Structure 1
Amino acid sequence: MLTRAQMIELFKTGVGAADPRAAVHNALTRTPLDVPTGGRVYALAIGKAAHAMMSAALPLLPKPDAAIVVTNYENAAPLEGARVMAAGHPVPDENGMQAGLAIQKMLARTRSNDVVLVLVSGGGSALVPAPVSGVSLSDKAQVNDLLLGAGLDIGTMNAVRQHLSRMKGGGLLRMAAPAQVQALILSDVIGDDLRAIASGPTVAPIATRDEVRALLATSGLWERLPPAARDALTREGDTPPLPDAQNRLIGSNQISLAAMARDCDGAKIVSDKLIGDVGAAAEEIVQIVREGSGPRVALFGGETTVRLTGTGRGGRNQELALRVATALDGVAGWRFLSGGTDGRDGPTDVAGAVVDGDTLARIRAANGDPAALLADNDSYHALQLADDLLVTGATGTNVADLQILCIDA
């Protein structure tokens, strides 16, 4: 069985395979940006990997007329040739609002022979809120909290966000018109639906307003939305057709899983769609251990959801790991890692956790009550007591989550 250190190194292999610098460099080297004679270049990067993507792009571009990077606070740093703006994630903040205004101002200068290069990565949806008229930042934050707390999948959340934003669901294309838009996209979405990555600033929306209203009603969230959000989702009026764009996918969760499988003898990808409710995902992992039916090193990729019923602190990877440890309490011969490739699991400072059959014993030895902590969605403090948290720091990339399950031969 792999040691804890070996599992962490294998996880880092997966993260490294999603290196945004290499992905952007390869894409622009293979297909250089085509700028018409006399045209200007504008560059924009949004998301958790925005800084790294822009740093790779700038040396390969004609000197941009302007370049803006919008990323989370942990990944923000000065970058020669670009204006770097840090904003809140996962909850939008005022700095994100200012970033949206700066982008709109930059794109208002474009002409028909100009090219706008857009570098998109996960997290862009929250980082650049740009709410529609009548909706405040506070309204957007409240909607975001409701969606996260309801355990909705990323596609559903983004379907709602798109209709509350001037930039999402292709809104960026309208801002950039009449310029040509070329986008390089690093996917944090399972299945790589471009409409869901950063809420699809350069592609058509996921759903219509009617469909979004029905979805929210079915989820029991419609009446809980701020009145301004409900008003925005019931407005009449036609939406003009979207301008065209060239969208290229340059990195994904599947690429990371393949790199991990190559790097570890005997490792096999069991699922690249570990999604949905975290409890069901945990049971899938637990059954493999109980039945001894899988490979000795089983790899998973995906993005689970957590329905919040408590007031504790944690994230989907920590809760998944704690649920597995709870179900296999005292069972020897297994070890499980679950981590977010961006290095941050939910509103915490860790990527996830590495657990085994003795995790709950360590929590109890530190005077913690595992069941009570799990019931309160307080996986962070439970795993902190066990010294099982996975700490990587911000990675500069984001291709959803990776999991490793090791079983003794």
Structure 2
Amino acid sequence: MQDGLRTEALRLFDAAIAAADPAQALARAFAAHPLPAAPGRTILIAIGKAAPRMLAEARAHVTGPVVALAVTHHENDTEVPGAEVLRAGHPVPDAAGARAARRILDLLAGCTERDRVIALISGGGSALVPAPVAPLTLADKAAVNAALLAGGLDITEMNLVRQQLSELKGGGFLRHAAPAPVTAYILSDVIGDDLRVIASGPTVGPVGTAAEAIALLKGRGLWDRMPEAVRTHLETAGPPTPLPEARNHLVGSNRVSLDAMRAAAEDADWQAHIVSDRLTGDVADAAARVLSEMHVPDRPTALLFGGETTVTLRGTGRGGRNQEMALRVALGAPDLAGHWVFLSGGTDGRDGPTDAAGGVVDAGTRARIEETGADPDALLANNDSHAALEAGDALVRIPATGTNVADVQVLLLAPT
């Protein structure tokens, strides 16, 4: 029974990944929102971890004169026939990213009202194309990012500041593309799918104003940690001006993947529920939320979760948020009369600095770990969830997916 549940959990995980596949997601979006026609050129610009796959799909739908560019991370070796593919640093911006941003700005500068610009946006785009406003430098932006991270700002607060310092973020892409119309197809890696936050919102309005960014920084005690050039820029920034209009289409997200998991479960006669699409915060609290749902049901039940948690580092081990969540569930699960399996996985196929996407555990996981002579509680205390799940044959390993819509979890519960 347990092996069957494990197979079923992996099948549902596959359904989540398939729903977020960049090419499939874009093909569905083109069917619902066809590419606009243009009398001149089509400028295809893809930015993010999924950029090459999104660009390849879009390229197949375009006829006539076309210019195609993708910017992705250094580890992505995918090439796109008939297109230029540039690679840059992620999550830390680098000089290659600055050169890629300049290439985008140069392409947009040559656009006319006869052209159309198609932006293909996916997670990671913010770091991949740093374009600091003059006279700021890449070093200035790096210092700002370090201070914001150390200050504990959430992603929306970080974007409020970063968008004021960029030529592309917070709608800057639209200003540089004008007078050409812009249509964007966006694959979300942000819980809640705020388009202003995904890749720092190159084709949507900014989170706020320079004055609001100053107030935030002063309120958090970070103002004096900003480089002098940054403080000067924020203090002298003029009032915001209206942005050119754009058409923005969300093509994939964590919620879309959860809906696909639910449909796949219901097709197999599971009673399926999406318990939460915002499973965030500390992984220990998230695991407790999952454990609170564990009971013996009247019929086979699939409980689904999505989100992105954080891990508090207290040790020197290896693992990621999905592996630690799976281990915490395995060690904290009650002794149920029925059968259960829990899977937590990253849709990009990678969890933390490891070769695994996550973990899949059941009532026998603790015993299997202990049979190897390992102490699962000690491994958890050392943040060594990877070693623990390896010992318990509970790691989920899949190839890198080329996409990222955060994490998904499935808890399968079955009566005896």
Q: Check whether TM > 0.5.
A: yes
Superposition map of 1:100-179 within 5 A: 100-141=101-142, 143-144=144-145, 153-179=154-180
Query: 1:401 matched to which residue of 2?
Result: 407
Q: SS at the partner of 1:81?
A: coil
Cα distance in 2 for partners of 1:213, 1:41 equals 39
Query: 1:25 matched to which residue of 2?
Result: 27
Cα deviation, residue 10, structure 1:
1.2
Superposition map of 1:263-278 within 5 A: 263-264=264-265, 265-266=269-270, 267-278=272-283
User: What amino acid is the match of 2:185?
Assistant: L
For these two proteins, the number of residue pairs brought into alignment is 408
Cα distance in 2 for partners of 1:248, 1:355 equals 37
Query: 1:341 matched to which residue of 2?
Result: 347
Query: 2:263 matched to which residue of 1?
Result: 262
Deviations 1:76-99 (A, max 9, x none): 311111101122323323322221
Identity of aligned residues (%): 54
Asked if structure 2 preserves the Cα contact closer than 8 Å seen for 1:152 and 1:305, the reply is: no
Check 1:285–1:233 CA distance in 2 against 1; reply closer, same or farther (3 A cut).
Answer: farther
Cα distance in 2 for partners of 1:361, 1:151 equals 38
Cα deviation, residue 334, structure 1:
3.0
CA radius of gyration, larger in: 2
Superposition map of 1:8-407 within 5 A: 8-37=10-39, 39-141=40-142, 143-144=144-145, 153-216=154-217, 233-264=234-265, 265-266=269-270, 267-289=272-294, 296-308=301-313, 312-328=317-333, 333-363=339-369, 370-371=376-377, 373-407=379-413
397-406 or 155-164, which deviates more: 155-164
Cα distance in 2 for partners of 1:128, 1:189 equals 18
Cα deviation, residue 189, structure 1:
2.1
42-51 or 124-133, which deviates more: 124-133
Asked if structure 2 preserves the Cα contact closer than 8 Å seen for 1:150 and 1:307, the reply is: no
Cα deviation, residue 104, structure 1:
1.2
User: What amino acid is the match of 1:255?
Assistant: V
Q: Could you tell me the TM-score, scaled by structure 1's length?
A: 0.87
User: What amino acid is the match of 1:247?
Assistant: N
Cα deviation, residue 237, structure 1:
3.0
Cα distance in 1 for partners of 2:284, 2:233 equals 34
Q: Could you tell me the TM-score, scaled by structure 2's length?
A: 0.85
Cα deviation, residue 368, structure 1:
5.1
Q: SS at the partner of 2:13?
A: helix
Deviations 1:149-196 (A, max 9, x none): 776544344334323322111111112122111111122222221111
Cα deviation, residue 231, structure 1:
5.5
- The root-mean-square deviation of aligned C-alpha atoms, in Å, is 3.2
Deviations 1:132-160 (A, max 9, x none): 33544455445545656776544344334
Check 1:232–1:276 CA distance in 2 against 1; reply closer, same or farther (3 A cut).
Answer: farther
User: What amino acid is the match of 2:72?
Assistant: T
